[in-house]
């Protein structure tokens, strides 16, 4: 038995949800470029869950259902109030999602119908949890979700308590489309491993949030912003990046396990970053990002991934830096739950082997003689 480090190149399941073939990303056979330009996040979530794009009435039905399920139990809000104000936002989300199960009587109902309902409920409640956490830590009361509006609209509304700007809604909605699913990425794999024991959907999504949090995965979008802030100005980009590369340090938001010739989602986020910069009259973050790309691609051949330009996009939308990864979770909840449903449909316990590299033939010495 020989181990493959990081399971690189290992095909661990079949799936009909999304594919990456020759650098092209599709959800259910639809190219991400097409979806990014022509579909809303709710249409994409429907596509991931049901395998087809919705008709207008199916879409209206889903938006209505998401609205009806968006409020979170009062007990969970009470718990959020007890979280330390400076706690990590992904740790808060992970704990809060796990708590949702305590208040759902159908949490352990494994019927298909109950699991689809829970997928929709989780998708609806995650934005509410994040916005409530963000307000409570600033000493503000949570804002109740609105019915009949998109997730992008509702999230920005619940975060700020104000009717969101349409440019911001459109940008966030497109970002949600771009992040919704990505084949067998680490957090989706974590979700599938968890539910393959026939554990419940809340356990699967809680595992996934834990995996997404890390800076080698979803946490990279926040890490990109930390780096941009550390660089501080366009003039500092070149010396900063050159020093990092000379030290063989990783540049966050670059590289990918699967894409070696570039992440097809990055160009959409780059365009969004440029357009938002122009609209707000502040191009500095965009220009710094472009310069970083020029240096990292030029010297290392590494291309930006989905996390790189999302940092300047979210900052221009005035979203706090530590909510970038939770926003990724809002979007990826659709993919995680679609994968969990698919796993239940054709389940087998996921249990690979390890190549043992430890000592052999050891004998126990009585404790007094050790």
Ligand X SMILES: CC(=O)SCCNC(=O)CCNC(=O)[C@H](O)C(C)(C)COP(=O)(O)OP(=O)(O)OC[C@H]1O[C@@H](n2cnc3c(N)ncnc32)[C@H](O)[C@@H]1OP(=O)(O)O
> What does the binding site for ligand X look like in residue numbers (CB under 6 A)?
6, 216-218, 220, 250-257, 300, 302, 305-307
Residue from 256, 263, 268, 339 carrying the catalytic annotation: 256
Instruction: List C-alpha distances in Å: 70 to 96, 128, 138, 358.
Output: 14, 6, 22, 49
Confirm or reject binding of residue 268 to ligand OAA (CB under 6 A).
Answer: no
Please report how close the Cβ of residue 257 comes to ligand OAA at its closest, in angstroms: 5
Please report how close the Cβ of residue 241 comes to ligand X at its closest, in angstroms: 10
The stretch near ligand OAA (CB under 6 A) out of 9-17, 219-227, 254-262, 287-295 is 254-262
Tokens of 268: 């959409």
Please report how close the Cβ of residue 269 comes to ligand X at its closest, in angstroms: 11
Confirm or reject binding of residue 182 to ligand OAA (CB under 6 A).
Answer: yes
For 346, which DSSP code?
Answer: T
Phi, psi of 254 (to 5 degrees): -125, 150
Tokens of 63: 């938006």
Residue 6 interacting partner from ligand X, ligand OAA, none (CB closer than 5 to 8 Å by kind): ligand X
Q: Please name the helix (run of DSSP H) or strand (run of DSSP E) that holds residue 19, with its range, or none.
A: strand 18-21
106 C-beta neighbours (distance < 10 Å), count: 16
Instruction: List C-alpha distances in Å: 47 to 58, 126, 175, 335.
Output: 11, 19, 16, 10
Confirm or reject binding of residue 257 to ligand OAA (CB under 6 A).
Answer: yes
Furthest-apart CA atoms within the chain: distance in Å = 76
Please report how close the Cβ of residue 358 comes to ligand X at its closest, in angstroms: 24
Confirm or reject binding of residue 185 to ligand OAA (CB under 6 A).
Answer: yes
Confirm or reject binding of residue 306 to ligand OAA (CB under 6 A).
Answer: yes
Are 195 and 344 in contact by the 8 Å Cβ rule? The answer is yes
Confirm or reject binding of residue 250 to ligand OAA (CB under 6 A).
Answer: no
**Interacting residues with ligand OAA (CB under 6 A):** 182, 185, 256-258, 305-306
């Amino acid at each position: 038995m020989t181990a493959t480090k990081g399971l690189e190149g290992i095909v661990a399941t079949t799936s009909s949800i999304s594919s990456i073939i020759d650098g092209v990303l599709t959800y259910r056979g639809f190219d991400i470029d097409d979806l990014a330009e022509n579909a809303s996040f709710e249409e994409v979530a429907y596509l991931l869950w049901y395998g087809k794009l919705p008709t207008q009435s199916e879409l209206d039905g889903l938006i209505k259902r998401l609205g009806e399920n968006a409020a979170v139990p009062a007990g969970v809000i009470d718990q959020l109030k007890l979280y330390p104000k400076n706690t990590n936002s992904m740790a808060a989300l992970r704990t809060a999602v796990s708590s949702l199960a305590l208040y759902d009587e159908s949490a352990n109902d494994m019927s298909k119908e109950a699991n689809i309902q829970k997928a929709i409920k989780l998708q609806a409640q995650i934005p509410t949890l994040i916005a409530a956490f963000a307000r409570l830590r600033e000493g503000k009361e949570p804002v109740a979700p609105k019915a009949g509006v998109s997730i992008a609209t509702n999230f920005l509304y619940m975060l700020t308590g104000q009717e969101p700007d349409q440019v911001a809604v459109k940008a966030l909605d497109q970002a949600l489309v771009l992040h919704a699913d990505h084949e067998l990425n680490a957090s989706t794999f974590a979700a599938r491993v968890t539910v393959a024991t026939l554990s419940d959907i809340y356990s699967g999504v809680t595992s996934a949030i834990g995996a997404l949090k890390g800076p080698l995965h979803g946490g990279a979008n926040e890490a990109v912003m930390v780096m941009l802030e550390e660089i501080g100005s366009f003039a500092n980009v070149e010396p900063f990046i050159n020093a990092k590369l000379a030290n063989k340090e990783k540049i966050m938001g670059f590289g990918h396990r699967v894409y070696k010739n570039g992440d097809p989602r990055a160009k959409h986020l780059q365009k969004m970053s440029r357009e938002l910069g122009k609209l707000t009259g502040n191009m500095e973050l965009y220009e710094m990002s472009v310069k970083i790309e020029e240096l990292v691609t030029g010297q290392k051949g590494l291309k930006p991934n989905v996390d790189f330009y999302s940092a300047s996009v979210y900052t221009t939308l005035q979203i706090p830096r530590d909510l970038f990864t939770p926003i990724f979770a809002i979007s990826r909840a659709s993919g995680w739950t679609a994968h969990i449903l698919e796993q239940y449909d054709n389940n087998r316990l996921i249990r690979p082997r390890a190549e043992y590299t430890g000592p052999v033939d050891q004998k126990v010495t009585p404790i007094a003689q050790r």
